[in-house]
Structure 1
Amino acid sequence: MLVSRGEDGGKIRRHLKHISPNRLERLRYLAGIAVKLTDDPCLAIDTGQLVSLASYGILGYSFMQSRSLEELYIQVKKNMWVLDPTEKNALKLSQPEGRYVISYENPPHWPEVPYFYIDLFFSALLHQSRELSRKNLDGAVLYLKRPAEHIPPTYSKKLGIEVIGNSETDLLILQKETVRETFPDTHLFHSPSFYSHCDVLLGGMKKESTLVEKVRHSLLGHSGRADLETIATEFGMSSRTMRRHLTTLGTSFRHIQKELLVHISKEYLANTPLSIADIAELIGYHDAPTYSRAFKQITGHTPAEFKKQKPAKE
């Protein structure tokens, strides 16, 4: 977008190389250019509506495993260091009198684009909440610290909720029953975001037969932990029939499952500070040694060796 509007793409890339590697500083630089070029007060709102769960990589996959909006918001709070490394506990969750409140205290302040970050955050959060729950979030209200006259009339329409200014803190209020309602068992498999994210996670793996690819996708929907009988039933066949088909293809359900779990764990090893023991537990292994043996069997390296190398995404 910036290049199409006449900004020197090479100049932007050169500048990005020399500014802080902090993702917020890079976003701040790009936001400043974009707002200056477009003169659009709703640019951050529009951008947030384009941020899908799949765009967060392995963190997005974790978000998509949430069984309610409450679980999603707890995950977001727990992982705010990824989104905002300057404030470890900036996000607050509370539940007063039938309401669910998400308050963001002391968000990053960029004088050249003072409202960009907070608008982007809440716009993306609302979009992802609807993406995951498939609900309109009726009754939600966004309160912003800025003066009411600094809120364009189109904000409420674009966000799909009421927006009110002059608040002491930037916060989003939702109906508690909406936030705590458990999603149907099938919600994940009907989510376009889930399937697009499966493609992202599986993109680095060697392409196999159609059946193997389908088994991988189905396993991802169960965090990789389903057994053969469960997956076979989803395909309308017995476990014995599926086992025979996979054997014909030169593989097995156990190998596909182990390979998938190892592939997912690579994302955690490369892109999070989690310990090997935590990662082992997260992907379903009972202990770190068992996980390490499986990892080495698939990759030829131990998780510790892989983590030390910090390789680029494969």
Structure 2
Amino acid sequence: MNEWYRGDVSAEYAMGLLDLLEQQDIGSDLALADTGIGPSQLEGDLRLTTQQDAALIENAVRLSGNQGLGFELGLRTALTWHGILGLGLMSCRSLRDALRLWTGYLDLRTTSFCIYLHENDGLAELNIQDLTPGAPQRRVALERLATMTARLAGQLTQQELPEVEMWFKDEQPSHALAYLDRLPKPRFSTGLCQVRMPSDYLDLALPTAHTLVLSQVKQQCERERVALGQNNSLIARIKGLLPLDDGTYLGMEDVAQTLCMSSRTLKRRLRHLGFNFRQLVDEARKQEVLRDVLNTSMTIDEIASRRGYSDAANLTRAFRRWTGESPSQYRAKLPYKLERGIAQVA
């Protein structure tokens, strides 16, 4: 079993869910039944295991009859739900600094997902990876995280940011229909899982910036990370380092050197987490290829060359393995594409 499966989730998110259920006259005793969650875990910002979080979500969906609870919770999330990290987000100078803080210390809120920020072609992409895909109720957990992450931009800048989008790999679920007019613009069947926005948004100043508070928050976050024995977001850090501007990817030796460790140590730590370096490079290449295919200004030959494939045929074979379709079929079926990095409705 992947070590990440035993990762923790902040109990503050569970408290938010219980408050929502209370508003629907669903008591916490029913919601917590058979979850293994004790009262002490819901006090003092203690933590739940991934399994306990999933059991609570499963009860909540059953009792409320709402399959869209992930979206609902994400929409209701206040910055205070993120604990000390929420204070740090508000204290950052710019949205870029805040999103880097969010991705850098996400493991203090949940260790079952990682997010890495990548800027390219005028777009900022917050790529979300589920580190425990075999756990139950992952769709709800993913929709909760994606929605709360997408809303951070508007919450922190205190202004409307209409070009923030959420991209999901799979087809649109029926429960999403009730939320389409409330969510940051969602896109489905993209093959990607990310929150995206124009890079210009990242330069927006935050009206609540406070340098001293931010410094204190970072120190506290580091102390919490040590106390919890967290992995300091190793997967997210590696994924953020991998892509280079020329379309190639950083090698293991260079990544290890950047992380101030030997390649042997890096291999060992990845193996402990259930990953290997080749997996991470392949996943990064897949993300970039899927994104490039949506860019209608690029031919398949150009994408193959840019991403290190010997020819378009090799890229197509890899693409069929990922999606079951050729790049041309995938590009043709989507109702929106990318022109120079901007989403266009076909």
State TM-score, norm by structure 2. 0.50
Quote how far apart the aligned CAs of 1:120 are. Answer: 0.5
Alignment of 1:1-314 (within 5 A): 1=18, 2=21, 4-5=25-26, 8-9=29-30, 12=33, 15-17=36-38, 22-86=48-112, 90-109=114-133, 112-150=136-174, 152-159=176-183, 161-183=184-206, 187-188=207-208, 221=210, 223=212, 271-273=224-226
Q: Which runs of 5+ in 2 are unaligned?
A: 1-17, 42-46, 228-346
Which structure: greater strand fraction?
2
Quote how far apart the aligned CAs of 1:10 are. Answer: 9.4
Does the aligned pair in 1 maintain the 2:71–2:147 contact within 8 Å? yes
Q: Percent identity?
A: 13
Higher relative contact order (CA 8 A, sep 6+): 2
C-alpha distance after superposition, 1:84-137 (max 9, x if no partner): 3245xx312111211111111235436653411111112112233211101222
Quote how far apart the aligned CAs of 1:50 are. Answer: 2.2
C-alpha distance after superposition, 1:165-200 (max 9, x if no partner): 1122211110111122233xxx118xxxxxxxxxxx
> C-alpha distance in 2, partners of 1:100/1:141?
11
Quote how far apart the aligned CAs of 1:37 are. Answer: 0.9
> C-alpha distance in 2, partners of 1:94/1:267?
26
- CA 1:110 to 1:83, structure 2 compared with 1: closer, same or farther past 3 Å? farther
- CA 1:52 to 1:6, structure 2 compared with 1: closer, same or farther past 3 Å? closer
2:295 — aligned with what?
Answer: none
Quote how far apart the aligned CAs of 1:41 are. Answer: 2.4
Quote how far apart the aligned CAs of 1:268 are. Answer: 5.1
- CA 1:119 to 1:269, structure 2 compared with 1: closer, same or farther past 3 Å? closer
State TM-score, norm by structure 1. 0.54
Equivalences, count? 200
State which structure, 1 or 2, has the greater radius of gyration over its C-alpha atoms.
Answer: 1
Residue type of the alignment partner of 1:180: D
Q: Which runs of 5+ in 1 are unaligned?
A: 190-220, 226-260, 275-314
Quote how far apart the aligned CAs of 1:49 are. Answer: 2.0
2:298 — aligned with what?
Answer: none
> C-alpha distance in 2, partners of 1:126/1:179?
13
Residue type of the alignment partner of 1:32: E
- CA 1:32 to 1:133, structure 2 compared with 1: closer, same or farther past 3 Å? same
- CA 1:102 to 1:272, structure 2 compared with 1: closer, same or farther past 3 Å? same
RMSD value, Cα: 3.4
SS at match of 2:55: helix
Quote how far apart the aligned CAs of 1:270 are. Answer: 6.5
Residue type of the alignment partner of 1:120: R
1:196 — aligned with what?
Answer: none
Does the aligned pair in 1 maintain the 2:116–2:127 contact within 8 Å? yes
